[in-house]
Structure 1
Amino acid sequence: MAITRSNSGLDAVFDAGRTFFNQKMDHMRRAQAKRRVYRATYHEFSVLTDRDLKDLGIPRSNIKRLAMEAAYGC
């Protein structure tokens, strides 16, 4: 007598786990990329002198908002 096993149910569970894991990893990568844009933009504006910012028409108090808009589009 031969015994056969079907792993299709287990394979479905593993596939679902891999899909969930890959989705979470993609989400984390996108969030990390946005954070990198925010930090770079914030740093670039913050190292400018008050005169440079005035020439650009940007008050120093708006640096955080501009960095948020650049990274997150809010």
Structure 2
Amino acid sequence: MFVCGADTGAEEQVTEPFREFGRPTDRVLDLGGIRSARVLEMCLPLRLAPASASRCAGRIAERESRGLPAGSNC
């Protein structure tokens, strides 16, 4: 998990659910100030693209298996 910002209290609040789920705290990586958040925001589409593509492929396959046209939107 990545956190960014200068407010340690806020960082603790954000990481608390991570700890509650039993995740090791050494997996929380503080990337520094709030400017680092821009890097994470730019990486998000790269992280989501494979999941989006696999869901889309699954929907197309489901439509085709039912004899429906695949359609342009997923």
Q: TM-score range by the shorter chain?
A: 0.3 to 0.5
More strand by share: 2
Normalising by the residue count of structure 1, what TM-score does the alignment of the two structures yield?
0.38
More helix by share: 1
Normalising by the residue count of structure 2, what TM-score does the alignment of the two structures yield?
0.38
Indicate the structure (1 or 2) with the bigger Cα radius of gyration.
1
